Structure 1
Amino acid sequence: MTETPGREHPRLRLDDSFASPIRFSLMAAMGEDLELDFATLGGILQVSDSALSKAISALEHAGYVQVRKGQVGSRPRTWVHSTTVGRRAFHAHVRALQAIVDFGAGGADAP
């Protein structure tokens, strides 16, 4: 194994909170300043309620999303909104993914 002095591999900048494809997709679906209800998110992501609930809980625990509960008429409803911290972390994760691609494509010459 060869090391490039003074350079860390970009994979070290990945955020484990987004290691799950569902959590990654959820953050991507949230956009910059979008609040979505649970049912809409489930439809977009094409996941079970249980899987979505677990993903939301993990991201909420990390401080990356906020959950708001309420009612529409007599029906309970849950809305999810990404936080500023969550959006920044997600964008940093995406930049790290791109850096991995660039690193691999450029080998030792990549920035």
Structure 2
Amino acid sequence: MDSNEPDPRFTLANERTFLTWISTSLALSAGGIAMAAVPESLFAPWIRTLLAVVLVLLAAVAAGAAYPRWRQIQRALRRAEPLPPPALAPVVGYGVAGVAILALVLILLSR
């Protein structure tokens, strides 16, 4: 396996991206916990639970995929190969958008 030491700026940028995914995971976890604590008068209990579970699952996916993604990018940098396409961003982006749209619709319907 040919392995070259990449430019430290790229390695540090890769590390910052990893840490950002971990921060995103923590924020999604907090959002899931907050959703579970929403007053019963706003959403039916099963809806709160569904939204909370989706947010916490997205948090788990983001945290669980962050290190393998860091490792893949680091390997590509060392081998001077093209970077792998981002698989995690669409999952988290569409998941959060889905939760937000559903919550918005339910808030508007409850008024």
TM-score, with length taken from structure 1? 0.35
Greater helix fraction, Structure 1 or Structure 2: 2
TM-score, with length taken from structure 2? 0.35
Larger Rg: 2
Greater strand fraction, Structure 1 or Structure 2: 1
